[in-house]
Structures are given as C-alpha cells and as structure tokens.
Amino acid sequence: MIIVMKPGSKENEISDITRVLESLGLSAHISKGTQVTIIGVIGDKRVLRDVPLEMMPGVDKLVPIVESYKLASRTFKPEPSIIDVGGVKIGGRELVMMAGPCAVESREQIIEAALAVKKSGAQVLRGGAFKPRTSPYAFQGLEEEGLKLLKEAKDASGLVTVSEVTSERAVEIANDYVDMFQIGARNVQNFQLLREVGRLKKPVLLKRGASTTVDEWLNAAEYIISEGNYSVVLCERGIRTFETATRNTLDLGSIPVIKNSSHLPIIVDPSHAAGKSQYVPALAKAAIAAGADGLIVEVHPNPRCALSDASQQLAPDAFDALCKDISKIAEIVGREFKV
Ligand code: PEP
Ligand code: MN
C-alpha cells in the first residue's frame, strides 16, 4: 500500500505517519516527488485494520499496490529515478555508455581499454574480476588483483567503474575498489547476495537472468531496495529461447515494459545477447531506439586474444564507430550522447 500525501504536506505530518507505522512494526519508505510525497508501507498490513490512516493530517489517499514488488514500482514512485554512480547520472536525458573488457586480464590490457573507451565517449569502465564461467576449468578472473588493476585504470582514465560480484566474499573485497556492483544473470535470484548489496549503499547494476520474467527481475530489484539501497539500474542482456543463432535473444520488449512498470533506469548489454561481435552494433542501436537509458558493451584492445568471451568483444575502432551512431540515434529519440 502507498499513502499519497496532499500537495504541500508538512514534514511533521510525514514524520507522524512514519512514527505510527514503525510503532506497528511496519517500515515506511518515502518518495518525494516534485508534486507530492508518497509513503510506501512495507510489512503485514493487517496491523493497520483499526488505524484510520486516511484521517491523519496531510493524507490525501491510500492506494493499494497490486504488483508483488512495491518499492521498485511506478505506483510507489511515479517519476523516473536517476542513479548517481560517482557523478555519472543514469536515467536522465544523457545516455550512459559503460564499456570495457569482459574480464580484467593485465594492467596493460585494462588501461589500454579504459583510455580507448573513454576517448569514444564512455563514462563507465567495466571489467570482470570474479568471472562466473560455465566451465570450472575456464579463466575465472584475477579476483582482488583484477580489482586493483581496474582501480588503476580508473585513476588513469577518470572513468568510474563497475564489476561483477558473485558472492558475499566478493562484495566485501570489491567494496574497496569499484563504484558500482554488478549482479550477473546467474545471481539475479541469489537472494542473500541481493540483500547483501542492498545493505551497502553502492549502486547496483542488476542484470536480468537468462530465464527470469520481468516480474521476477523487478522482485530481485525489490530485495535490494527493501534493504535501503535505492540505487539500482536494471540491465537487459538477452534471455534463453529456442533460437541459437545469437547467444541469447535480446528482449527489446522488456524496455518499454520496465519503463511502464518501474521507475528504475534500464540499460542494455548487446554483447552477451549477441554472442558475436558482428551483431553487437545492431542490437545496441535498437536498444537505444527502444528507449534504453544506456548500454554496457564489451570492448577489448585485442578481442581475438581475450581470455573470456573473445567472439563477442568489440575492437576499439568498432566501438568508436558504434558510439558515433548512438549519438545520432540519441538525438532522434530525444536523448543526448556526447562523443
Ligand atoms: C558479464 O557481464 O561479463 C557477464 C557474465 O554477464 P551476464 O551475467 O549477463 O552473463
Ligand atoms: Mn562477458
């Protein structure tokens, strides 16, 4: 349920309601819009049966939230959220480009990648250090050493960073090095891990699982937000279908669906959807045309030698050409992307 306050309601009216809710063991999540303030009520609503909340000063109306997720819903927060990652704003008019290699492999590789993607217009550097590989014998990432190199690349380029965390131990380590945690497709329903990143205040890039519905995905976001961390950005990266021509089937439809159901920004990963570098630009451009707030693209200085996902990573010149195209499409869809 949400409590919609009257326009111009006072701080003490909001805090009185919060106090009543908390005294009953409920939690109150406040969303201040330009027009009205909304209080999201989380917990067992049966305790409110005899409490005339609608009579309290400043209250306009009580509205039930029909979705299973609450705080991630547009009912709770009608205005789009803008998430700040070390000064980079995601969800505003300006598109955000995250780019970098699948995995951090060496100092030279990550610094070269960082400088190249920055030159093309990227604002965020990606690089995996804890790699969730299908085979236990495949390259598993450099772990803390990789995160140290990612931090060096941040310092050398001025880009903010995102890196995947695959366990609570990884969260603890990565917390000192990165600006944004990535929860990968395989961990979107690892509820302990979601709660863990929810307890920290660092922004989270939450990928969709290969077999997660939009509803399940938004409930995963709810796990993070309900712990107090509102800085969640969703990432569509393709789902598993009968089609095998691409690695995953990019669900472009999820972009307008998310925009309709949630206030959270959504970006698209065309690299893990395509699986082949030649298909990446088309999917990337389609995603921006469909209303995505940005992209996360795998870029490697020398893709053929990459230790993971070699077939889908773009070389820096292909990435540069893509950024130029994205900047043109941005204009058509009322967004902005500076190259
Ligand atoms: C990745 O970003 O390198 C990755 C493993 O992505 P996903 O979780 O989408 O497969
Ligand atoms: Mn990858």
Does any ligand 1 atom lie closer than 6 A to the CB of residue 70? Answer: no
Say which residues have a Cβ less than 8 Å from residue 218's Cβ, sequence separation at least 6.
67, 69, 72, 73, 258, 261, 262
The answer to whether position 96 is within a domain reads yes
Nearest CA to ligand 1 atom 3: 102
Does any ligand 1 atom lie closer than 6 A to the CB of residue 235? Answer: no
pLDDT at 187: 98
Nearest CA to ligand 1 atom 6: 184
Specify the ligand 1 atom closest to the Cα of 238.
Answer: 9
Instruction: Count up the domains in the chain and report the number.
Output: 2
* Dist CA 335 CA 83 (whole Å): 16
Please indicate, yes or no, whether residues 107 and 32 belong to a single structural domain of this protein.
Answer: no
Does any ligand 1 atom lie closer than 6 A to the CB of residue 126? Answer: no
Q: Which CATH number covers residue 173?
A: 3.20.20.70
Please indicate, yes or no, whether residues 171 and 41 belong to a single structural domain of this protein.
Answer: no
Testing ligand 1's pocket by substitution, the residue of 240, 272, 299 carrying the most ligand atoms inside 8 A of its CB is 272
pLDDT at 275: 98
Please indicate, yes or no, whether residues 53 and 149 belong to a single structural domain of this protein.
Answer: no
3-state secondary structure of 120: helix
- Model confidence at 192: pLDDT above 90: yes
Containing domain of residue 42, as a range?
A: 2-63
> 243 falls in which pLDDT band (50, 70, 90)?
very high
* Dist CA 300 CA 199 (whole Å): 33
Show the CA angle centred on residue 168, arms to residues 165 and 169, nearest 5°: 85
The answer to whether position 70 is within a domain reads no
For residue 309, how far is its CA from the centre of ligand 2 (angstroms)? Answer: 5
Nearest CA to ligand 1 atom 9: 185
Dump pLDDT digits (tens) for 304-316. Answer: 999 999 999 999 9
| Predicted TM-score of the model (pTM) | 0.96
Lowest pLDDT segment from 42-46, 113-117, 180-184 = 42-46
> 60 falls in which pLDDT band (50, 70, 90)?
very high
Please indicate, yes or no, whether residues 32 and 131 belong to a single structural domain of this protein.
Answer: no
For residue 205, how far is its CA from the centre of ligand 1 (angstroms)? Answer: 11
Q: Which CATH number covers residue 16?
A: 3.30.70.1140
Please indicate, yes or no, whether residues 35 and 115 belong to a single structural domain of this protein.
Answer: no
Please indicate, yes or no, whether residues 18 and 123 belong to a single structural domain of this protein.
Answer: no
For residue 127, how far is its CA from the centre of ligand 2 (angstroms)? Answer: 9
> 34 falls in which pLDDT band (50, 70, 90)?
confident
User: In this structure, which ligand is nearest to the CA of 307?
Assistant: 2
